């Protein structure tokens, strides 16, 4: 099989993993007609084609997030993880971005913080919102209908961070030569039980299309990943 890293419209803050349109092709790579020809050429050679599915976050320029941050009362507000500041006015908890720095970005207009497990330009989607799940599962269907054979599912362990947003405990084995993100154990920010429900929902969609595969990117201990 051929696996293609994200080719969707993106500001490219993170090599295309900050997606502003899940059902398009970025002009940097070509057009949808080019993509359809690629699918046909791959299948004509007896190969399979996998795309990257990035379910845990969008670009901050995605129309969903633009609407979400426009007002606390906007219908899209709950499509992302928003939280009031801590008592001292700082981030809601101690989580650290995988790229270092707080995993929270303050929105000056509303006074709340939004969760960004990666870059501030990658706000975290709220998969506990049924509307988010429905929209993202429709993304899978869109590409399956175009003949895609499967997906590598990006950062799947971050799909359902702890709904209470509890602080992560310190990592007793961390030292200053390691990544700042590893200074905390990801006890509450990754590998939460609800994530399995969301993966199961993806699998049900894939199972409706014969011969489709999903490959999860899940960093962690063997026990966590299994």
Give the residues across from 106 on adjacent strands. Answer: 113
- The rounded distance, in Å, linking the Cα atoms of 30 and 26 is 7
Contacts of 128 (CB under 8 A, 6+ apart): 160, 163, 194
Q: Active-site residue numbers? A: 154, 217
88 — alpha (psi -120 to 50), left (phi > 0) or beta?
alpha
- The rounded distance, in Å, linking the Cα atoms of 25 and 225 is 31
């Amino acid at each position: 099989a051929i696996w293609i890293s994200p080719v969707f419209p993106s500001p490219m803050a993170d090599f295309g993993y900050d997606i502003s349109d899940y059902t398009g092709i970025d002009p940097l790579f070509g057009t949808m007609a080019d993509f359809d020809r690629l699918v046909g050429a791959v299948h004509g050679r007896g190969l399979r084609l996998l795309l990257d599915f990035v379910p845990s976050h969008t670009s901050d320029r995605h129309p969903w997030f633009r609407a979400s941050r426009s007002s606390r009362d906007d219908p899209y507000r709950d499509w992302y993880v928003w939280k009031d500041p801590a008592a001292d006015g700082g981030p809601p908890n101690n989580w650290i971005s995988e790229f270092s720095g707080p995993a929270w970005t303050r929105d000056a207009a509303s006074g709340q913080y939004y969760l960004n497990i990666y870059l501030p330009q990658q706000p975290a989607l709220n998969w506990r919102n049924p509307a988010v799940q429905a929209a993202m599962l429709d993304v899978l269907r869109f590409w399956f209908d175009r003949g895609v054979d499967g997906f590598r599912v990006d950062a799947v362990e971050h799909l359902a961070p702890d709904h209470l947003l509890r602080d992560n405990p310190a990592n007793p084995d961390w030292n200053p030569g390691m990544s700042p993100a590893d200074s905390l154990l990801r006890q509450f920010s990754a590998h939460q039980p609800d994530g399995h429900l969301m993966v199961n929902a993806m699998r049900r969609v894939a199972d409706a299309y014969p011969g489709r595969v999903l490959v999860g990117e899940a960093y962690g201990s063997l026990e966590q990943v299994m």
